[in-house]
């Protein structure tokens, strides 16, 4: 098979559409989205100048494989996500795309995401000198099953996110909550606005917890951002609710706010008529996993990050 691999900084709307269709085709077979939300948002909004898009095409110009190379993280190093059309796997397309990405980056800390624990991903990673360094669990629960009872706190107010007002306080709290998180803690105003412009964004499901001091000054101390996941988004499953991001101010931790916000968010999602809810959590975050298990969630699948061997 004649194959051409091209590297592009910007994608035309036509190429973006074809890559999205490629991702849909893979998700339909694997029952798992091959590209993360981060990459899909970059596709929708043009990405960063440091992004590169590697495209494998056949002699007729049909896209058979796509790789997203993000080199914007100066701390953790570049990260790669790749998808190959199900009808053209095991023909060296993924290997060729990743090898070109390696040659284009002079950073030995390159990371590779694989969505779902697929044997083929482990095999390809090992051949190219990558080893597993991180696991991200997907957990799910039915929304038909009863939810735990929430314990109210009279000192707290829980309300929907107010667009045009809450952005600065939320970004400040989010950075504080996720100081050590490799992706979430780096979110900028531009990142937030990009997500708020997505079709799934609903401020009614973006719950904010606040307290007031003696002068009635409001302080944001926690939040639960929910979303509707799947459906036409190419995730390989029908629509379900998602605990998208849950954040609690350090001084409020251990006081029941995380559970209260979680239950309120799940009640909101159930009110939308959704059958189930899911979330992503790092496999080594035992405190968060224990919270979610107490809410009825169970491990469903795993995304795996591989890192390049140091020479």
CATH of the domain spanning 139-302, picked from 3.30.450.30, 3.40.630.30, 2.40.30.10, 3.20.20.60: 3.40.630.30
pTM of the entire predicted model = 0.84
Task: Quote the tokens at residue 141.
Answer: 């629960």
Give yes or no for a contact between 100 and 54, defined as CB atoms under 8 angstroms apart.
yes
Q: What is the pLDDT of residue 77?
A: 83
CB 178 within 8 A of CB 170: no
Residue corresponding to tokens 């691999």:
5
Q: Is the pLDDT of residue 204 over 70?
A: yes
Banded pLDDT at 311 (limits 50, 70, 90): low
- Rounded mean pLDDT, 62-68: 95
Domain ranges of the chain: 3-128, 139-302
Sheet with 130-142, side-by-side order of all strands: 3-8, 51-58, 63-70, 79-84, 111-115, 298-308, 130-142, 276-282, 240-248, 218-229, 206-212, 157-160
CATH number of 3-128: 3.40.630.30
Residue-level pLDDT at 69: 93
What is the tens place of the pLDDT at every residue in 69-91?
988 777 778 899 999 999 999 89
| pLDDT at residue 236 in the model | 53
78-112 as b/e: b if 16+ CB within 10 A: bbbbbbbbeebeeebbbbbbbebbbeebeeeebbb
Q: Residues of the chain with pLDDT > 70: what percent?
A: 95
Q: Are strands 276-282 and 240-248 parallel, antiparallel or unpaired?
A: parallel
Of 116, 151, 269, 286, residue with least CA distance to 278: 269
Is residue 185 over pLDDT 80? no
Look at residue 235 and tell me whether its pLDDT is greater than 70: no
* DSSP conformation class of 46: -
- What pLDDT is attached to residue 210? 97
pLDDT score for 233: 54
Would you state the pLDDT for residue 85? 95
Establish whether domains 3-128 and 139-302 are of one fold.
yes
> Which of 70-84, 102-116, 160-174, 212-226 is most confident?
160-174
């Amino acid at each position: 098979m004649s194959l051409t691999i091209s590297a592009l900084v910007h994608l035309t709307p036509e190429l973006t559409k074809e890559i999205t269709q490629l991702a849909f085709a893979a998700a339909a077979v694997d029952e798992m989205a091959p590209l993360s939300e981060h990459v899909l948002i970059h596709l929708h909004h043009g990405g960063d100048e440091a992004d590169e898009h590697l495209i494998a095409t056949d002699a007729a110009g049909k896209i058979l494989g796509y790789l997203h190379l993000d080199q914007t993280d100066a701390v953790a190093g570049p990260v790669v996500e790749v998808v190959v059309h199900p009808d053209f796997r095991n023909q060296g397309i993924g290997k060729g795309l990743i090898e070109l990405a390696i040659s284009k980056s002079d950073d030995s800390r390159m990371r590779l995401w694989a969505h779902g624990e697929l044997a083929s991903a482990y095999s390809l990673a090992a051949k190219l000198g990558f080893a597993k360094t991180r696991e991200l669990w997907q957990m799910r629960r039915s929304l038909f099953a009863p939810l735990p009872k929430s314990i109210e706190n009279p000192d707290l107010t829980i309300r929907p996110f107010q667009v045009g007002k809450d952005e600065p306080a939320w970004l400040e709290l989010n950075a504080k909550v996720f100081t050590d998180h490799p992706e979430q803690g780096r979110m900028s105003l531009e990142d937030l606005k990009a997500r708020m412009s997505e079709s799934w964004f609903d401020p009614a499901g973006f719950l904010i917890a606040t307290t007031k001091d003696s002068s009635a000054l409001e302080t944001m101390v926690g939040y639960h951002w929910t979303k509707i996941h799947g459906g036409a988004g190419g995730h390989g499953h029908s629509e379900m609710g998602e605990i998208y991001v849950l954040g609690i101010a350090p001084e409020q931790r251990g006081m029941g706010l995380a559970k209260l916000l979680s239950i309120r968010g799940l009640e909101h999602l159930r009110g939308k008529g959704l059958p189930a809810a899911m979330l992503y959590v790092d496999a080594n975050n035992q405190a968060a996993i224990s919270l979610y298990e107490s809410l009825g969630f169970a491990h469903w699948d795993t995304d795996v990050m591989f890192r390049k061997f140091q020479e």
